[in-house]
Amino acid sequence: MKRLAMAAMVAAMAVPVLAQTTAGTPPRQEAPLEMISVAGEGRVKLNPDRVRFNVGVETTAPTPSEALEQNNAKIKAVIDALRGAGAKSEEIQTSNFSIHPQFEYVESRRPRIIGYQVTNTVTVTRDVTSDSGRLLQAAVNAGVNQASGLSFFVADESPAREQGLRAAYADARAKAETLARAAGRTVGRAVAITEGGAPPVVGPPMYARAAMAESKMMDSSVPVEQGQHELTFTVSVVFEMR
């Protein structure tokens, strides 16, 4: 009986020591993940379905009222010509109107006003891109002496968004795999993805000043090529490297 009692006492004393040892053991720490960060780019080309351009009339006369009267008559003729060529009223919008004095500068004398310049510009936005050359020609024939900002674009770019982002992610993954192979490693899961963007890549704006003889352009159209509208999507991705 004494031996059994002694054994039980020793076992009871050992339990706290064992518990203390277990509790004091530091937790096992996992090795930190090694990462690789890359950027990917995806491009999508679309056929434009909208065209926009600016046409205007600039007139100069000795007084503001004379310059305005001349300008009013000419810009009205331009708007009527645009409508006659197929542009709807809601597609034509006044985008700029200004009156500026014109000065003469003579050495040793104060500048003096010699006239006034009036500018009236309208912006045409149309969903029939093939009409752009004919509309421009009609406007020039009607008296336009300023034109700018010819651009083709896509009204709704959202259908191309998913395609562009998928292509950008695939590009990022391919870059990561190339870099990982160079280091003798492999690419794991994506742990962070950030979307970035860039402005659409479009053709350069058109800047022109009408100075051709009217007799040469009555039966012609301005040569216009719409090309394609290119959208660029970018993503930054952080991958696990194994």
51 strand-pairing partners: 126, 152
Tell me, yes or no, whether 166 and 137 share the same domain. Answer: no
In a domain, 68, yes or no: yes
Spatial separation of the C-alpha atoms in residues 78 and 176, rounded to whole Å: 57
Tell me, yes or no, whether 90 and 181 share the same domain. Answer: no
Tell me, yes or no, whether 60 and 137 share the same domain. Answer: yes
In a domain, 171, yes or no: yes
Tell me, yes or no, whether 167 and 111 share the same domain. Answer: no
Residue 156: per-residue pLDDT: 86
In the sheet that holds 34-46, the strands lie side by side as 34-46, 229-241, 187-197
Residue 30: per-residue pLDDT: 58
**Domain encompassing residue 172:** 34-45+159-198+236-241
Tell me, yes or no, whether 38 and 61 share the same domain. Answer: no
CATH number at residue 142: 3.30.70.2970
pTM over 0.75, yes/no: no
Residue 24: per-residue pLDDT: 56
Cβ atoms 139, 78 nearer than 8 A? yes
Tell me, yes or no, whether 64 and 91 share the same domain. Answer: yes
Supply 57's token pair: 């009339």
Spatial separation of the C-alpha atoms in residues 99 and 117, rounded to whole Å: 6
Residue 128: per-residue pLDDT: 86
Averaged over successive runs of 10 residues, the pLDDT of the chain (242 residues) comes to 43 45 56 82 91 96 97 97 94 96 89 95 92 93 94 87 93 94 92 70 38 42 73 93 88
In a domain, 217, yes or no: no
Q: How many separate domains does the chain show?
A: 2
What CA–CA distances, in Å, run from 31 to 37, 157, 183? 19, 44, 19
The angle formed by the CA atoms of residues 170, 176 and 181, to the nearest 5 degrees, is 125
Cβ atoms 191, 101 nearer than 8 A? no
Cβ atoms 161, 134 nearer than 8 A? no
> For helices 64-84 and 132-141, what crossing angle results, to 10°?
140
Count the Cβ atoms, other than its own, within 10 Å of residue 136: 26
Cβ atoms 210, 57 nearer than 8 A? no
